[in-house]
A and B are shown apart, each in its own frame.
Chain A
Amino acid sequence: MGYLNNSVVTVDAILTTKGRELLAKNDGSFRITQFAFADDEIDYTLYNPTHPSGSAFYGEAIQNMPLLEAFPQETQIMKYKLATLPRGTAKLPVLNLGYSAITLKQGASLAITPQTLNYLGNAQAYETSGYSATISDVRLMSTFTGIGINTTAAQTSNAPITTTLGTNVSQTIIGSQINLRATTVNTLFGTNTQLSATITFVGLDSGARLTIPVLINKTIV
């Protein structure tokens, strides 16, 4: 008879760049209220359900892998969230934006209405809690707002920014529709004719995630 290992796993957390920003604001926005799990770094093609040594070894190539330390940049981590779905789910929720990339001229506008495929037995659905959209550099947009969702989270996220932005800072908004308007500020371009960033959409109910590139073309006068 052996002893059971009853120890609790303890891990050290680091603050993300966004966490430090919110802590510095000192307005109560740095308040942890929920959590999520992710399986970043895992490649499930390494899982081998035909392993000759049997089922105990199916995950052999995954479960002993060394993991990287956490990245403080919030857009580079928690990419692939674990989702709570009914047993027997054959298809996982997938986001459909209608765009695989966004290219805008200076001052041009665009409205995106994400949909979720394969969610709760529906081929297509709009998630009740809405969608979050995180742009990696909010300076590229003169308007970046979410509409259609009236939860507290959405109202907090969609409040106007009061921070002076001296560098690329991400911003997250929530809505059923995401409205974008490209910046009209020329100085951001410097000598370049194009600015680039990414927008990551996450279905707040399903956890489905999709990142697309955003390009802003300078209007040459």
Chain B
Amino acid sequence: MSFKRLDPEDFLVSSDSIVNTLWSTDTPTLTTFFTSSIQIASSAGTYYYSVYQTGSTLSNAAVQFDIAYADSKGSGSVLYNNAVPGVSPTKTIYGQYRSMILEDENSSFTFGKGTNIYTTDNFWVINFERARYKQSLFPGSLNLKLSGSNGIINLTDDSVDNPVSQFLGSTRVYQLISGSNGTAGSLANSGYVASSGSYGLVFPDLGTILLNPVAVSQSIRVSPSRSNNSDGLNNQKLFTAIDLGDSFTINSQETLTSDYVFVRARNSEFNYSENPSFISGSTGEVIYDDFINAPQVYLTTIGMYNDSNELVAVAKMSRPLLKDFTKEALVRVKLDF
């Protein structure tokens, strides 16, 4: 017999969390930021700016994240139609996130918690490319520097200070605070801005950060234009703050499910080979007399078959494994999905 049936206990499914760098530079921190004039000039540019790790015309350029500005009153961008006041791309963006996160068209976004909360009808959005963050952002790894006329702020999520998950609607959320590596440390107001709430909200499972313009403005004097029916260049303002900050650190996280199959060769099994060099001539005689009673074979390959004897998966050893009547083999085969 050359096939051996597997028992139910030979299978094990294991799910493991894999944390990795998010940027396509394979480094934890992105220090250079570029936009594309072609993308900005396109119809998509009226909604969001795409940010690259290098010049957008270079062959290795890849979108790392997008920046957008949302305003419930439609301020900061040109109206779709002058006959319909207040309806512009920024209002569309606002409605998009309100629908997706708040799940209630009558609700507003609130930054902060406890007694220091701030409700606002506009915000900036940083939206990471799905291929970059894979399944979710890794809480505690966020370190974003924003630079403005009043200096630099270091922003992080509050996952270390408040490790119990909070939810907004059905979406996991952390507050964006002043600090580093998931904690405000000894900073005043627990990393919040006095009377303006937190700096924003971090949604790991959406790969999205919302920034509270009031808190950012109060801290570094970077604020969006809320003019009516004109392009306030608000996406450019946040991009400049990030670009001058020179440092954006965040990791991705995904759950990898692996199927382990334990294959076992008992001492009396798999001791002869159909390898043509194991036999001499066409009559099937083993090549060495020693191999009649003490065969030595070298296992190199493990094939996984279905009931129809079709080879569906295969694994190779890193080096040949000696098998004879005095040895048993136990090999764990890992299948990733």
For window 15-52 of chain A, which residues contact chain B by CB distance below 8 Å? 15-16, 18-19, 22-23, 29-45, 47, 49
Q: Please, which residues of chain B bring their CB within 8 A of the CB of A205?
A: 1
Name A39's contact: one of B273, B307, B311, B335 (CB within 8 Å).
B273
The reply to whether B315 and A39 form a contact with Cβ atoms under 8 Å apart is no
The reply to whether B273 and A16 form a contact with Cβ atoms under 8 Å apart is no
The reply to whether B311 and A12 form a contact with Cβ atoms under 8 Å apart is no
| Given A49-B290, A78-B311, A83-B270: A32 touches B334 (CB 8 Å cut-off) | no
Tell me the minimal C-beta distance from A116 to chain B in angstroms: 10
Tell me the minimal C-beta distance from B274 to chain A in angstroms: 5
Q: Please, which residues of chain A bring their CB within 8 A of the CB of B298?
A: 39, 42, 59, 62-63
Q: Please, which residues of chain A bring their CB within 8 A of the CB of B4?
A: 34-36, 84
- Complex CA gap A45/B278 in Å reads 8
| Given A70-B316, A84-B1, A207-B2: A91 touches B311 (CB 8 Å cut-off) | no
The reply to whether A16 and B313 form a contact with Cβ atoms under 8 Å apart is yes
Q: Please classify how large the interface on chain A is, using the bins under 10, 10 to 19, 20 to 34, 35 or more.
A: 35 or more
Is B126 part of the contact surface with A, judged by Cβ < 8 Å? no
Q: Please, which residues of chain A bring their CB within 8 A of the CB of B286?
A: 89-92
Is A174 part of the contact surface with B, judged by Cβ < 8 Å? yes
Q: Please, which residues of chain B bring their CB within 8 A of the CB of A70?
A: 301, 314-316
Hey, what's the 0/1 contact readout for B295-337 against A, CB within 8 Å counting as 1? 1111111111111111111111111111101000111111110
- Complex CA gap A47/B5 in Å reads 31
Tell me the minimal C-beta distance from B336 to chain A in angstroms: 7
- Complex CA gap A65/B273 in Å reads 18
Is A85 part of the contact surface with B, judged by Cβ < 8 Å? yes
Interface stretch among B36-44, B168-176, B189-197, B261-269?
B261-269
Name B301's contact: one of A10, A18, A49, A78 (CB within 8 Å).
A78
Is B118 part of the contact surface with A, judged by Cβ < 8 Å? no
Is B279 part of the contact surface with A, judged by Cβ < 8 Å? yes
Residue on A with the closest CB to B305? A34
| Given A45-B277, A47-B288: A32 touches B313 (CB 8 Å cut-off) | yes
Q: Please, which residues of chain B bring their CB within 8 A of the CB of A59?
A: 296, 298, 322
Residue on A with the closest CB to B316? A70
- Complex CA gap A42/B272 in Å reads 13
Residue on B with the closest CB to A82? B270
Is A117 part of the contact surface with B, judged by Cβ < 8 Å? yes
Q: Please, which residues of chain A bring their CB within 8 A of the CB of B268?
A: 84, 87
| Given A11-B332, A31-B307, A207-B1: A91 touches B283 (CB 8 Å cut-off) | yes
Interface stretch among A152-160, A177-185, A186-194?
A152-160
Q: Please, which residues of chain B bring their CB within 8 A of the CB of A16?
A: 311-314
The reply to whether A33 and B334 form a contact with Cβ atoms under 8 Å apart is no
Tell me the minimal C-beta distance from B37 to chain A in angstroms: 42
Number of B interface residues in the complex (CB < 8 A)? 70
Q: Please, which residues of chain A bring their CB within 8 A of the CB of B269?
A: 84
- Complex CA gap A93/B274 in Å reads 8
Q: Please, which residues of chain A bring their CB within 8 A of the CB of B335?
A: 13, 15
Name B336's contact: one of A12, A23, A80, A83 (CB within 8 Å).
A12
The reply to whether B2 and A77 form a contact with Cβ atoms under 8 Å apart is no
Name A43's contact: one of B277, B284, B304, B322 (CB within 8 Å).
B277
- Complex CA gap A47/B313 in Å reads 29
- Complex CA gap A64/B320 in Å reads 7
Q: Please, which residues of chain B bring their CB within 8 A of the CB of A83?
A: 1-2, 270, 272-274
Residue on A with the closest CB to B260? A10
Hey, what's the 0/1 contact readout for B1-20 against A, CB within 8 Å counting as 1? 11111100001000000000
- Complex CA gap A31/B302 in Å reads 16
Name A91's contact: one of B1, B276, B284 (CB within 8 Å).
B284
The reply to whether B319 and A64 form a contact with Cβ atoms under 8 Å apart is yes
Is B82 part of the contact surface with A, judged by Cβ < 8 Å? no
- Complex CA gap A131/B334 in Å reads 29
Is A9 part of the contact surface with B, judged by Cβ < 8 Å? yes
The reply to whether A84 and B270 form a contact with Cβ atoms under 8 Å apart is yes
Q: 17 A-B Cβ contacts within 8 A?
A: A10-B333, A12-B336, A29-B308, A33-B5, A34-B309, A35-B302, A39-B273, A42-B297, A44-B287, A62-B320, A64-B319, A67-B318, A67-B320, A70-B316, A78-B311, A84-B272, A157-B308
| Ranked 7 nearest A-B pairs via Cβ | A207-B2, A19-B312, A13-B315, A80-B275, A82-B270, A81-B2, A78-B303
